[in-house]
Amino acid sequence: MNEDGPVQADPGASRQPPLLQAEHVQLYFPIKYGVLVNRTVGAVHAVDDVSLSLTEGQTLGIVGESGCGKSTLARCMVRLLEPTGGTLRFRGRDITHLRRRPLQPFRREVQLVFQDPSSSLNPRKRVGQIVAAPMRLQGVERDAARARVRELLDRVGLNPEHVNRFPHEFSGGQRQRIGVARALAVNPRLIVLDEPVSALDVSVQAQVINLLDDLQDDLGLSYVFIAHDLSVVRHVSDQIAVMYLGKVMELSPAAELYRKPIHPYTGALLSAIPIPDPKENRGREQRVIGGEPPNPVSPPPGCRFHTRCPWATKVCAEVEPPLAEYPGGHLAACHHPRNVSSAEISGATRSPLSPLSAGQLMPGGQQAPASGAEKARESQVTARTGDAPDAPAGEGSSSWHLEVVDGCE
Amino acid sequence: MAEPLLDVQDLEVSFATEDGLVRAVDGVSFTLDRGEVVAIVGESGSGKSVTVMTLMGLTRSPNARFAGSARLHGGDLVTASEEELERVRGREIAMIFQDPISSLSPVQRIGNQIAEQIRAHEKISKAAALDRAADLMERVGIPHARDRVRAYPHEFSGGMRQRVMIAMALSLSPGVLIADEPTTALDVTIQAQILKEIRQLSRESDSGVIFVTHDLGVVADIADRVLVMYAGRLVEQGTVDEIFYDPQHPYTWGLMGSVTRVDRDPPKRLPAIPGQPPSLLRVPEGCHFRPRCPHAFDPCRQVPPLESRLPGSPDHLDRCWLTPADKRVKREVGGRIGLAEGKVIG
């Protein structure tokens, strides 16, 4: 589907390469069918052309509903899965297709914490063995590892005397601390946390979030924090990516995202979360979006959210919106952006992080000032894109118009 | 005052285990009126699920011991015989479970599973029961309900399965509907749909709803009254506004403080509750929350009674020895309600 095209460097990251960078990463799971001959009859578009980057010492939150591809993306990032397209860079080095051995140094720097602490800890091993395992694999001596395990247990707030206990002797929150201790064992720089607190009670959630906060401050760690809960993500993230059906819908600094969600999907997610304050809850207008996410085997054309979006017009079903960059480094892939002024809309630029299949069509305000080259083409109105069908001229809502902007090719 | 729909008094449930007696529910009393939503909040292991499952007669086993009563339409759910329970379950009291996929039979068609319950209580033909099933599915917002009566559970998404569970629970218009964490396994957008559905359906049928959850956001959204449980006991109960704006028990403060809010700038640090909930085999003497409570003082070695301590709010009950004036000062942490960090006695 998408070939790897030339990717422009992220303008903000020119000084130092970001710690982890995903460029148009794509992961399709083939659907096989047949008895003797395994024919591939289709593919689950789990992650479809996602570009993200993570600066050292920061936290990137990834949110979305189940099935949006956030966990698959996390597994790509730690290279548990090999992407079927795009490039993954760690400190500028391409790690997309590295084999096991060349990956080993990378494995030391990147660790993963799973959602369910009881199924990610071997029930037959003692805590000491579990936490020491990554160190032993990296060739640390038994005695040195033992001493370090006690240090680590203390660090995550567990009693070092409990090294000889089994996972079942701990509560859910304590087990998640064991998972964190194991991840810390090899002094990683990046920890990918896949729903680390979703299975925990609120009071314990707060403890684990505080622990992760402390560790980041003390050790200068970087996190990729996956969650389906926008309120938890708000607490931990510097940057947040909102995913839907394998694509990034919105990518923004955390505070900015909550102050003014631009993509209608983000707005819907935020509005769906009940606020723990009865009066405010009664007072606010809650927009419940109907329906469910479509099947990722055959995602809808154009904007993937258009089948559930209250603002969708004809253009949304036809042209995939590129990620438009608004002031404050706020990126959103939507033809009908919310919470932005028409000046901001006309000032928006096409982000190089946009999917390759996205159209050239930018959301435009009434008085969109266009630069010379764009003005010349503005009369054409139709979007010149590689694979997207022609955009309808003058169709859709009247409050905004279509605009052609220079692409990155 | 009119008689409540459901009246639970001093309910006690304990289980004999190899390690000793587990007091899962320890003297819980509350009432439920028609058209009312009562939420039970608490952490895992607080006894909230055991309480509601006991009302359905689902905790009965040779090693379970019960005390107290739960009066519904003149009968007592705690002492009712199996036959009586069978007549009541579904018709007068019904339950929606957390995990719809394990509560539905994977080998039977959805329509048949709903119709089966109707036919267990009413003498109607299978065709008529299936017809009712389709109506119910339509009512809970399942699209193309007529065609999907013949579908199997695996053909439904999580949200749709939960709708099937709701349709099943409502099939005989029970007076009491128990929802045990019905949205915990669902995505927020689907959760919002289901909550709306439950609220609307309970209003239409004028039934009382007991809603078990650990999510305070959901509580604020759906509940009229709130019961807060900790380690088998009720520690506080009141209207939703009383609990959220004037919480009296330090455990409730801790819950409030731990919640991450989507509509506010996050505080630098979440005021978490220190420590773990106690094992129900070895509950601390006196107030169960004492070992985790930074405000604990000498009287806490005695169990505080659940009573109204605020003049003017006779129905706002709590189990804490602190004076209301003290509480007002102590629950303020950084401008919001939370549990202060402090020395905790072991």
Per-residue pLDDT tens digits for B93-103 = 999 988 888 88
| Residue A408: pLDDT over 50 | no
pLDDT of the residue at B266: 79
Measured between its terminal Cα atoms, the distance across chain B in Å is 45
pLDDT at A287: 73
Note the residue count of chain A.
Answer: 409
Indicate the range of A37-46, B121-130, B259-268, B319-328 predicted with least confidence.
B259-268
Q: Please compute the mean of the pLDDT values over residues A166-183 and round it to a whole number.
A: 91
Interface of B with A in 122-181 (CB under 8 A): 157-160
Q: What is the mean pLDDT of residues B279-283?
A: 87
Q: Taking all residues of chain A, what is their mean pLDDT, rounded to a whole number?
A: 83
pTM of the model: 0.82
Between the alpha carbon of residue A196 and those of residues A159, A235, A236, A343, B62, the distances in Å are: 21, 13, 12, 40, 38
Cβ separation of B272 and A174 shorter than 8 Å?
A: no
Tell if the CB–CB gap between B187 and A207 is shorter than 8 Å: no
pLDDT for residue A378 is more than 90: no
pLDDT at A386: 36
**Per-residue pLDDT tens over the stretch B247-257:** 999 999 999 98
> In which element (H, E) is residue A46 found?
strand A39-54
B261 with A279: Cβ contact below 8 A: no
Q: Which residues of B touch A289 (CB under 8 A)?
A: 189
Cβ contact B270–A273 (<8 Å): no
Is pLDDT at A377 greater than 50 in this prediction? no
A203 → closest Cβ in B192, B254, B266: B254
**Given this model, what pLDDT does residue A284 score?**
80
Interface residue of A162, A195, A201, A203 to substitute, partner B, most B CBs within 10 Å: A203
- Are B263 and A171 in contact (CB < 8 Å)? no
Contact B262 A286 (CB under 8 A): no
Distance CA B305, CA B284 (A): 16
B340 touches chain A (CB under 8 A): no
Residue B1: what pLDDT? 55
Which residue, among A70, A202, A260, A271, would best test binding to B if mutated, counting the most B CBs under 10 Å from its CB?
A202
Assess whether pLDDT exceeds 80 at residue A286: no
A278 closest CB neighbour out of B44, B159, B241: B241
**What confidence tier does A376 reach under pLDDT thresholds 50, 70, 90?**
very low
Give the pLDDT confidence of B115-171 residue by residue, as tens digits.
999 999 999 999 999 999 999 998 888 888 898 999 999 988 888 899 999 999 989
Q: What angle do CA A265, A268, A272 make, to 5 degrees?
A: 145
Task: Using the predicted structure, report yes or no on whether residue A366 has a pLDDT greater than 80.
Answer: no
- Helix, strand, coil shares of chain B, percent, nearest 5, are 35, 25, 45
Residue pLDDT, tens place only, A49-80: 999 999 999 999 999 988 899 999 999 999 99
Give the pLDDT score at B45: 84
Per-residue pLDDT at B267 exceeds 90: no
Q: A228–B240: do the CB atoms touch at under 8 Å?
A: no
Tell me what pLDDT residue B315 has: 93
Residues A277, B243: Cα–Cα separation, whole Å = 10
The alpha carbon of residue B94 is apart from the nearest alpha carbon of chain A, in Å, by 25
Beta strand spans in A102-147 (E)? 110-113
Alpha helices in A21-95 (DSSP H): 70-77
- Confidence class for position A15, pLDDT limits 50, 70, 90: low
Label residue B333 by pLDDT band (50, 70, 90).
confident
Q: What is the pLDDT of residues A213-237, one digit of tens each?
A: 999 999 999 999 999 888 889 989 9
User: Is A130 in CB contact (< 8 Å) with chain B?
Assistant: no
B258 φ, ψ (degrees, to nearest 5): -75, -15
Q: Are B240 and A278 within 8 A, CB to CB?
A: yes
d(CA A2, CA A358): 11
Report the C-alpha gap between A239 and A254 in whole angstroms: 5
CB contacts under 8 A, B 193-212 vs A, are 193, 195-196
Q: Residue B200: pLDDT above 90?
A: no
Chain-chain contact of A203 with B269 (C-beta, under 8 angstroms) = no
How sure is the predictor about B293, in pLDDT bands with cuts at 50, 70 and 90? very high
Q: What is the dihedral of CA B251, B252, B256, B257, to 10 degrees?
A: -30
| DSSP letters spanning B218-286 | HHHHH-SEEEEEETTEEEEEEEHHHHHHS--SHHHHHHHHH---TTSPPPSS--PPPS-PPPTTSPPSS
The Cα–Cα gap between B164 and A284 comes to 29
Nearest CA in chain A to B218: A274
What mean pLDDT comes out for the span B280-308? 92
CB-based contact, B278 to chain A, within 8 Å: no
State whether B273 and A173 contact (CB < 8 Å).
Answer: no
What pLDDT was estimated at residue B346?
44
Name chain B contacts of A286, Cβ cutoff 8 Å: 192
Check residue B119 and give its pLDDT.
93
Considering only CB atoms, B196 lies closest to which of A209, A231, A288, namely A288
How far apart are the C-alpha atoms of A345 and A173, rounded to whole Å? 45
Cα nearest neighbour of B223 on chain A: A278
At A364 the pLDDT is 64
> Which of B43, B187, B195 would you mutate first to test chain A, the one with the most A CBs within 10 A?
B187
B224 close contact with A: CB closer than 8 A? no
Q: Does the pLDDT at position A398 exceed 50?
A: no
Are the CB atoms for A246 and A43 separated by under 8 Å?
no
Tens digit of pLDDT for each residue in B10-52? Answer: 999 999 999 899 999 999 999 999 999 999 999 888 999 999 9
CA A169, CA A153: separation in Å to the nearest integer?
15
Which of A325-339, A387-401, B311-325 is least confident?
A: A387-401
Name the β-bridge partners of A25.
A50
- Ramachandran angles phi, psi of B3, nearest 5°: -70, 135
Report pLDDT for A290.
Answer: 80
Q: Do A202 and B219 touch (CB under 8 A)?
A: no
Residue A133 contacts B where some CB pair is shorter than 8 Å: no
Task: Return residues 170-209 of A near B (CB < 8 Å).
Answer: 171-174, 201-207, 209
Interface residue A393 vs chain B (CB under 8 A)? no
pLDDT for the residue numbered B196: 87
| Percentage with pLDDT > 90 across chain A | 53
pLDDT at residue A405 greater than cutoff 90:
no
Q: Please name the residues in contact with B277: beta carbons below 8 A apart, sequence gap of 6 or more.
A: A171, B43, B44, B45, B46, B230, B231
Of the candidates A255, A258, A272, the beta carbon closest to that of B189 is on A272
B105 pLDDT more than 80: yes
Question: What percent of chain A lies above the pLDDT cut of 70?
Answer: 85
Those residues whose C-beta lies under 8 Å from the C-beta of residue B74, and which sit 6 or more positions away, are none
With a cut of 70, say whether residue A371 has pLDDT above it: no
Give residue-wise pLDDT tens across range A331-351.
999 999 999 988 888 888 899
| A157: closest chain B residue by CA | B275
Average pLDDT over residues A30-55: 88
CB of B19 within 8 Å of a chain A CB? The answer is no
List the structure tokens of B274. 């220190």
Residue type, B236: E
What does pLDDT average to over chain B? 90
Q: Search chain A and give the residue with CA nearest B266.
A: A235
- Report percent pLDDT > 70 for chain B: 98
Q: Among residues B30, B28, B36, B43, which one has the least CA distance to residue B215?
A: B43
Out of B159, B195, B214, closest to residue A202 by CB: B214
**pLDDT tens digits for range A112-165:** 998 888 788 999 999 999 999 999 988 899 999 999 999 999 999 899 999 999
Residues of chain B neighbouring A269 (CB-CB closer than 8 A): 188-189
> Over the stretch B21-31, which tens digit does the pLDDT of each residue have?
999 999 999 99
Q: Note whether ipTM > 0.95 here.
A: no
Give the pLDDT confidence of B208-227 residue by residue, as tens digits.
999 999 889 999 999 999 99
Q: Indicate yes or no: CB of A206 within 8 angstroms of CB of B260.
A: yes
